[in-house]
């Protein structure tokens, strides 16, 4: 089966611009997660979708971040406007069952805000 696909793989934008990251989960996986790793720190949870519904968005840093999963398939994560501290690697993951048994991660999107 195809894995979790994320694009772009890299994005460099200026402060104040908007960026949209996309994640295509494994087909049939209802659970989709976004995580982020800021330079030198832990990988941290952002949010969790079950199908098209947000199950938990407690990790979203502020209202400049908007995640959607229309139709319960792919998901987008929009950052508007981007700030310097948003730089990092954004990972998407999916799972068929409850994610606490472990996820399948994508390769990540490296976002650099200059």
By the criterion CB under 8 A, which residues form the site for another protein?
A: 4, 6, 31, 33, 35, 40-45, 48, 55-56, 59, 91, 93, 95, 98-108
**Which tokens sit at 102?**
């472990």
For residues 95 and 103, is the Cβ–Cβ distance under 8 A? yes
CB of residue 16 vs another protein: minimum separation in angstroms?
29
Smaller CB distance to another protein: residue 12 or 43? 43
Structural contact between residues 64 and 80, judged by C-beta atoms closer than 8 angstroms: yes
Nearer to another protein, 62 or 101 (CB): 101
Residue 62 C-beta: closest distance to another protein, Å: 19
- The CB-of-82 to another protein minimum distance in angstroms stands at 22
Q: Can you list the positions of beta strands (E) in 17-87? A: 19-24, 31-37, 43-50, 53-56, 65-68, 75-79
């Amino acid at each position: 089966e195809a894995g979790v696909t994320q694009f772009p793989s890299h994005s460099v934008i200026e402060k104040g611009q908007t960026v949209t990251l996309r994640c295509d989960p494994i087909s049939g996986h209802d659970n989709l997660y976004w995580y982020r790793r800021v330079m030198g720190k832990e990988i941290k949870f952002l949010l969790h979708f079950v199908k098209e519904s947000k199950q938990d968005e407690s990790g979203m840093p502020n209202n400049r971040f908007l995640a959607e999963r229309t139709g319960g398939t792919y998901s987008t994560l929009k950052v508007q406007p981007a700030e310097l501290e948003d730089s990092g690697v954004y990972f998407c993951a999916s799972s068929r069952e409850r994610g606490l048994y472990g996820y399948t991660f994508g390769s990540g999107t490296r976002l650099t805000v200059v």
